[in-house]
Structure 1
Amino acid sequence: MNIHKILAPAGLAILLTGLTSEIFLNNMPTEQKHVVSDTLYEDLTEAQKRSPKYAAAALEVTDGLKATLFAAEPMVTNPTNIDVDHLGRVWVCEAYNYRPAINGNPTKNEGDRILILEDSNADGKADKSMLFYQGKEINSPLGIWVMGNRVVVSQSPFVWLFTDVDHDGKADKKEIIFEGIGGEQHDHGMHAFTFGPDGKFYFNFGNAGGQLLDGNGKPVTGQDNQPIDFGRYKQGMVFRCDQDFKNIEVLGNNFRNNYEVAVDSYGTMWQSDNDDDGNRGVRINYVMQYGNYGYTDELTGAGWRANRTNMEDSIPFRHWHLNDPGVVPNLLQTGSGSPTGMIVYEGTLLPQFRDQMIHCEAGHNVVRSYPTKKSGAGYTATISNIVDGKRDQWFRPSDVCVAPDGSLIVSDWYDPGVGGHQAADQSRGRLFRIAPAGVSYRTPETDLTTASGAVNGLQSPNISVRYHAWNALLKMADKALPEVRKLFSSHENPRMRARALGSFLY
């Protein structure tokens, strides 16, 4: 007897392939849905597997944590990059209009969207969506950084600054901060900005960036007063600048497609870098300031395939010129993949990942952490999976951020592929929240009008809260010093002491 058949009273046989699983999942306690067995999940139909209804059930999450669906289509589609603001709202860059000339997909004439998603009842699901901006000039953006009512959107060849003048959740003003960065929609161009403990902004671009021009089309100069371009530097670069986007420094160069730089409380920089596809050379870098990272020959610019003295004995190492004098060693080589967004987790809600890089690897359908250990002048690292989407290989994590409560928000491009000039699905996209089961999504209140409140905000796991707190302390100047000194002298966590030091040194 086929166990997937039953006889109805009328004697009709009803096929239940997939339905058995659906009934089971629908009646399963919510806290258990993230541990559905492989067998049960595989019984779902392809249509069911693609449905947001089973999106969280497809993910295997490390012990002690749970993945819940924060938002999905039609609320959001094709998310490339996200940020979580000081209020716990999730800002999303969408890329519906990705590479239509190559993949032949339809486009929206009104352009791509920047969305604000809000969970107003603390149930861990977005129930409000606001359109911050949509315009034809927003064309597959790859980075977003939210500073209260000002928002930086990275979209090669431009970096845009939007301002919500009247604080109604909609952009009223837009201006170009940088331009001339790579070609339109180039995946190897400008990526996201972030905030460092020194009060400066950090950002990067890949090996198609080429140069930095200001909003008037004039070359931007670096710390040596020379134009920032491929004549002075090579390939992908990492930058630091003041909050007015002036005083640009090049902090590292000669990467291929360094997707997003993450900065910890000591000011240490970390990022991933994608290899020439198919050469198993994807890497994670500790970014030593002013280092050369070896994608091409430092002197001649020759590619890694060119014959040379002391040539490395395997392609993954040869790929980065690792035997060349002066090339900074890789922290970790992860092989194949399509690395995307990264953060450093310094919260307390997920203690097993505290002080670790957390990284999205879209090519392998996984969100990972990289625990590090000191080693000489650098570090060594290992890999630990947090979220594994191998059961649904459309799971393509594109970015990860830390919310003010310490939970993770992960964006999912959700597609059979990982970009690379192609998009097989334009109608789907998801956001997930990663947290211990039963922990509601609540944003702690922060009073930035007092020195003690601002110092408390400086200790937030969320970068946007820290940005506001840092600037509040700067405005208070000497009045804030007693509270800042107290944090520096008495906190048991050296990273919090480092934040205090950064706030009053600058």
Structure 2
Amino acid sequence: WVTEAVNYRDFNNDPEKHLSFEKGDRVMILEDTDGDGVSDSSKVFVQDEDLVAPLGIAVVGNKIFVSCAPNLFVYTDEDGDDRPDKKEVFLEGFGGFDHDHSLHALIVGPDGKYYFNTGNAGPHHVVDKSGWELRSGSVYTGGTPYNDKNEPAQVSDDGRIWVGGLALRINPDGTDLKVMGHNFRNSYEVALDSYGNMWQNDNDDQVVTCRVTWIMEGGNAGYFNSNGKRTWQGDQRPGQDIFTAHWHQDDPGVMPAGDNTGAGSPTGVVVYEGDAFGPEYQGMLLSADAGRNVIFAYQPTKKGAGFDLQRNDLITSVQESTEGYVWNETDDDKRKWFRPSDVAVGTDGAIYIADWYDPVVGGHQMMDSVGYGRIYRLTPKGKQLKSPKLDLSTTDGQIKALLNPAINVRALGFEKLAAQGKTVVEEVQKILETDNPYHKARAIWLLSQLGDRGGEIVENILKNEPDPRLRTVAYRALKNYEDFIIRFASIAADDPSADVRREVALSLRDIPWEQSKNVLKKLFEGYDGEDPWYLEALGIALDGKEEKAYAEWISDQPKDPAEWSDKFASLVWRLHPKTAVTELKKRA
């Protein structure tokens, strides 16, 4: 399934000089019917005047979600004839009409909820199906003639200020819209692995500071200042390097920025969890960069409560370094026209790469006059991969779908099994006996939604599972039992894994001080004084509780602020409560 962007930024690209569709852009279905690895069938699913260079597509059963600001559309094919029978607006109100910095693709997470990104071309005023409203913006305008107004420091219905580009989550019925991360520039996509980790890349202001990183729930990525009123250029300190300034890395309340990939135009991301390529590829984070003609590959490794990302090239069309990439420089070297705009995983375990194929990328420009694009299929040498036939009418078929490497396909298995409830607990529990940790993680998410017995199994995993990754999944799943959050938090607050304790902290953000203070104190005691991810998790946990925490915990410190422990001093820096100003001046 492919979204086309033929009518791409006609304000910058004369439609008389390139392929143009008067009836709007299209969603296409390409198929390899004989299994030779080459598409031999092409059909138009829909052509719609409302589709103006859509930036994302998700196929979830018979529902096709297409991201095209200001709307997230859903087309439903009720009779299976590869034509939509119904078109609805799932969400509306996103900024960035006909803009690259706008609404991007939706995916289904391992918890069965929908996740998606939008760029910083706000303002975004979005109301979910339950009436909750997101209000987000910044000082950013421009890029298109339509993006002439924006507004920083807006307050959403949760009482918080969300800034710039956003990662969002919503229930399949359109309720409970939630901000999962914010203050991006233009992150093209959010990728989730089966553990529930969120990953992204992000573009920069053409100053060699693009990045790839893990997103901590509720985290601030630091592109603007905290309320969106100032740019990084306005906040850059004397002597501060550009990468540090660009992502406000010396400011309290900002996540670590991850891997600095330099110049580029990062686009789609995915985590590969199939086994077709062997164990060295399993769990690999793939990040497409259209500017650099490359798919970057990472095997994330643990570092404190976060991750370390060491970059390699999975696929590139050039042998020489592209680190000197300048977005608007073009030449006749067609190797550099490989512009990967997305990377995905098929039901067969193959990796699929969408190629924009153009001499230029970025700046809302293109030079391709004929509307040419390519899709590559990457398979292990010597292996013939085949898509399995999945029968979603049986429990066995649903479990096979759940274990499939294609993200939105395994979501169908999850949905069907969850609908069966406690009757499938035993079958799902058997997955925990397999060797594949990603399959085990998917089973944990599902068990948490299969009634009391399923919840008991997940709680036992939280208490006794030796693998900290699975204990982390167990806590993430159990925190959805909001009435029992303090009980689960108390169990996990002294877990030996910083990851588990981090998740406990993040889950306590909206829990009042009197209910959470004992667990929060225990979490602070587990801080090593150095880990920036753990410190930021504590800061998020103490949002709105800064003054109370400072007033209680300072009693454990020497009266002279200069003699405070390093970990307490760094926490006070992160929280910066007003009542600490005098003590901080003394330390300075």
The TM-score bracket by the shorter chain reads: 0.7 to 0.9
- Find the aligned partners of 1:295 and 1:307 in 2 and give their Cα distance: 11
With over 3 angstroms needed to count, the CA separation of the structure-2 counterparts of 1:330 and 1:228, relative to structure 1, is: farther
Give 1:257's aligned amino acid. Answer: N
| 1:220-235 paired onto structure 2 within 5 Å | 220-221=133-134, 227=156, 232-235=161-164
Q: Percent identity?
A: 40
Is 1:364 matched up with 2:292? yes
User: What corresponds to 1:38 in structure 2?
Assistant: none
Match of 1:330 among 257, 266, 271: 257
Match of 1:445 among 369, 378, 389: 389
Is 1:274 matched up with 2:274? no
* Of 164-173 and 297-306, the range deviating more from structure 2: 297-306
Match of 1:376 among 293, 304, 319: 304
Match of 1:460 among 404, 415, 430: 404
Give 1:103's aligned amino acid. Answer: N
Q: Is the 8 A contact 2:13 2:365 kept in 1?
A: yes
Q: Is the 8 A contact 2:117 2:165 kept in 1?
A: yes
User: What corresponds to 2:56 in structure 1?
Assistant: 143
User: What corresponds to 1:59 in structure 2?
Assistant: none
Q: Alpha-carbon deviation of 1:448?
A: 2.5
Q: Alpha-carbon deviation of 1:453?
A: 2.8
- Find the aligned partners of 1:208 and 1:312 in 2 and give their Cα distance: 30
Match of 1:238 among 167, 183, 192: 167
Deviations 1:88-113 (A, max 9, x none): xxx00001100112121333111111
Give 2:294's aligned amino acid. Answer: V
Query: What is the DSSP-based 3-state SS (H/G/I as helix, E as strand, rest coil) of the residue aligned with 2:421?
Result: helix
Q: Alpha-carbon deviation of 1:354?
A: 1.2
Deviations 1:129-168 (A, max 9, x none): 1110002111100000001211100011111110112210
With over 3 angstroms needed to count, the CA separation of the structure-2 counterparts of 1:375 and 1:216, relative to structure 1, is: closer
Deviations 1:312-334 (A, max 9, x none): 62112210100001210012110
Q: Is the 8 A contact 1:337 1:364 kept in 2?
A: yes
Deviations 1:387-419 (A, max 9, x none): 111271111001111011111011100000114
Give 1:306's aligned amino acid. Answer: G
Q: Alpha-carbon deviation of 1:449?
A: 2.7
User: What corresponds to 1:10 in structure 2?
Assistant: none
Q: Is the 8 A contact 1:178 1:212 kept in 2?
A: no
More strand by share: 1
* Of 448-457 and 150-159, the range deviating more from structure 2: 448-457
Query: What is the DSSP-based 3-state SS (H/G/I as helix, E as strand, rest coil) of the residue aligned with 1:357?
Result: strand
- Find the aligned partners of 1:336 and 1:96 in 2 and give their Cα distance: 26
Q: Is the 8 A contact 1:212 1:229 kept in 2?
A: no
With over 3 angstroms needed to count, the CA separation of the structure-2 counterparts of 1:138 and 1:266, relative to structure 1, is: same
With over 3 angstroms needed to count, the CA separation of the structure-2 counterparts of 1:457 and 1:95, relative to structure 1, is: same
Deviations 1:465-491 (A, max 9, x none): 201100110122122111111112x01
User: What corresponds to 2:244 in structure 1?
Assistant: 317
- Find the aligned partners of 1:358 and 1:230 in 2 and give their Cα distance: 35
Q: Which runs of 5+ in 2 are unaligned?
A: 136-154, 319-333, 450-588
User: What corresponds to 2:6 in structure 1?
Assistant: 96
Relative contact order (C-alpha < 8 Å, sep 6+): which is higher?
1
Aligned alpha-carbon RMSD (Å): 2.2
User: What corresponds to 2:106 in structure 1?
Assistant: 193
Match of 1:425 among 368, 391, 396: 368
| 1:250-269 paired onto structure 2 within 5 Å | 250-269=179-198
User: Given the two structures, how large is their TM-score scaled by the length of structure 1?
Assistant: 0.78
Is 1:152 matched up with 2:65? yes
| 1:273-292 paired onto structure 2 within 5 Å | 273-276=202-205, 278-292=206-220
Query: What is the DSSP-based 3-state SS (H/G/I as helix, E as strand, rest coil) of the residue aligned with 1:199?
Result: coil
More helix by share: 2
- Find the aligned partners of 1:379 and 1:450 in 2 and give their Cα distance: 39
Q: Is the 8 A contact 1:111 1:137 kept in 2?
A: yes
- Find the aligned partners of 2:73 and 2:420 in 1 and give their Cα distance: 30
Give 1:99's aligned amino acid. Answer: R
Is 1:105 matched up with 2:15? yes
With over 3 angstroms needed to count, the CA separation of the structure-2 counterparts of 1:311 and 1:203, relative to structure 1, is: farther
Q: Alpha-carbon deviation of 1:344?
A: 0.4
Match of 2:275 among 336, 348, 370: 348
Match of 2:339 among 387, 396, 404: 396
Aligned length: 411
Q: Alpha-carbon deviation of 1:335?
A: 0.5
User: What corresponds to 2:583 in structure 1?
Assistant: none
Q: Alpha-carbon deviation of 1:283?
A: 0.6
Query: What is the DSSP-based 3-state SS (H/G/I as helix, E as strand, rest coil) of the residue aligned with 2:307?
Result: strand
Q: Alpha-carbon deviation of 1:228?
A: 6.7
Query: What is the DSSP-based 3-state SS (H/G/I as helix, E as strand, rest coil) of the residue aligned with 2:270?
Result: strand
With over 3 angstroms needed to count, the CA separation of the structure-2 counterparts of 1:441 and 1:228, relative to structure 1, is: farther
- Find the aligned partners of 1:219 and 1:298 in 2 and give their Cα distance: 22
Q: Is the 8 A contact 2:56 2:68 kept in 1?
A: yes
Q: Which runs of 5+ in 1 are unaligned?
A: 1-90
Give 1:102's aligned amino acid. Answer: N
| 1:60-99 paired onto structure 2 within 5 Å | 91-99=1-9
- Find the aligned partners of 1:363 and 1:462 in 2 and give their Cα distance: 26
Query: What is the DSSP-based 3-state SS (H/G/I as helix, E as strand, rest coil) of the residue aligned with 2:401?
Result: helix
With over 3 angstroms needed to count, the CA separation of the structure-2 counterparts of 1:364 and 1:240, relative to structure 1, is: same
Query: What is the DSSP-based 3-state SS (H/G/I as helix, E as strand, rest coil) of the residue aligned with 1:247?
Result: coil
User: What corresponds to 2:42 in structure 1?
Assistant: 129
Q: Is the 8 A contact 1:234 1:301 kept in 2?
A: no
Deviations 1:358-408 (A, max 9, x none): 111100101121121100111111111111112711110011110111110
User: What corresponds to 2:351 in structure 1?
Assistant: 408
- Find the aligned partners of 2:445 and 2:222 in 1 and give their Cα distance: 31
Q: Alpha-carbon deviation of 1:173?
A: 1.1
Q: Is the 8 A contact 1:233 1:254 kept in 2?
A: yes
Q: Is the 8 A contact 1:312 1:321 kept in 2?
A: no
Q: Alpha-carbon deviation of 1:187?
A: 0.6
Q: Is the 8 A contact 1:210 1:230 kept in 2?
A: no
Q: Is the 8 A contact 1:283 1:333 kept in 2?
A: yes
Give 2:247's aligned amino acid. Answer: W
With over 3 angstroms needed to count, the CA separation of the structure-2 counterparts of 1:479 and 1:407, relative to structure 1, is: same
Query: What is the DSSP-based 3-state SS (H/G/I as helix, E as strand, rest coil) of the residue aligned with 1:102?
Result: coil
Q: Alpha-carbon deviation of 1:175?
A: 1.1
Give 1:501's aligned amino acid. Answer: I
Query: What is the DSSP-based 3-state SS (H/G/I as helix, E as strand, rest coil) of the residue aligned with 2:97?
Result: coil
Deviations 1:19-72 (A, max 9, x none): xxxxxxxxxxxxxxxxxxxxxxxxxxxxxxxxxxxxxxxxxxxxxxxxxxxxxx
Q: Alpha-carbon deviation of 1:217?
A: 13
Give 1:378's aligned amino acid. Answer: G
Give 1:248's aligned amino acid. Answer: L
Q: Alpha-carbon deviation of 1:231?
A: 7.9
- Find the aligned partners of 1:231 and 1:496 in 2 and give their Cα distance: 36
* Of 257-266 and 447-456, the range deviating more from structure 2: 447-456
Query: What is the DSSP-based 3-state SS (H/G/I as helix, E as strand, rest coil) of the residue aligned with 2:335?
Result: coil
Is 1:180 matched up with 2:93? yes
Match of 1:496 among 439, 444, 451: 439
Give 1:443's aligned amino acid. Answer: S
- Find the aligned partners of 2:345 and 2:90 in 1 and give their Cα distance: 26
Query: What is the DSSP-based 3-state SS (H/G/I as helix, E as strand, rest coil) of the residue aligned with 1:442?
Result: coil
